Amino acid sequence: MNKIIIVLFILSTLSFAEEGSFYVSGEAIKAISLTLGVSSIDFGDVYTDTDVDPVLVDFSVNAEANYYYDVEITNDDSSGVVQVSKTSSGGYTDGKLTYSKLIATGNDDSQEFYVDLDTENMTDDLSATITVTVAYSEIPSS
């Protein structure tokens, strides 16, 4: 009964709200689009402590010309087996990979990252999702 009284009280309080207006100005910009070069990676049979070749994942971002955007790459593998890097030769992390303040050309801007497995930490079959998020980071004022 107490919950119903509280809800009714909140609703009755909202009914006495004041009205006003304010103005918003803005500029329409192109929605960011992201295209990935692959939809899945299958390393096949992998044994503990074996070396596997990293897999290149290319992607392109199309955003408003001269606007800054960020790219964040994450994965849901909590075991630390899935590793990502900006280069094939090193810098692998099982955490977040970020590209900051990239400047859009207004066309498809090509980027890439690599996916590798740290097979030393592998104890069972693995299925993981890698998420690539793209967002404007800075919109120039007009």
Q: Is the model's pLDDT at 19 over the cut of 60?
A: yes
CB 104 within 8 A of CB 137: no
Percent of the chain clearing pLDDT 90 (strictly above) = 46
The reported pTM is 0.74
pLDDT 10s digits, 69-103:
999 999 999 888 899 999 998 889 988 999 999 99
Q: What is the C-alpha separation between 107 and 30, in angstroms, rounded?
A: 11
pLDDT recorded at residue 8: 43
CATH architecture type of domain 32-138? Sandwich (2.60)
User: Domain spans of the chain?
Assistant: 32-138
Q: Is the model's pLDDT at 13 over the cut of 60?
A: no
CB environment 93-119: b (16+ within 10 A), e (fewer): ebeebeeeebebeeeebebebbbbbeb
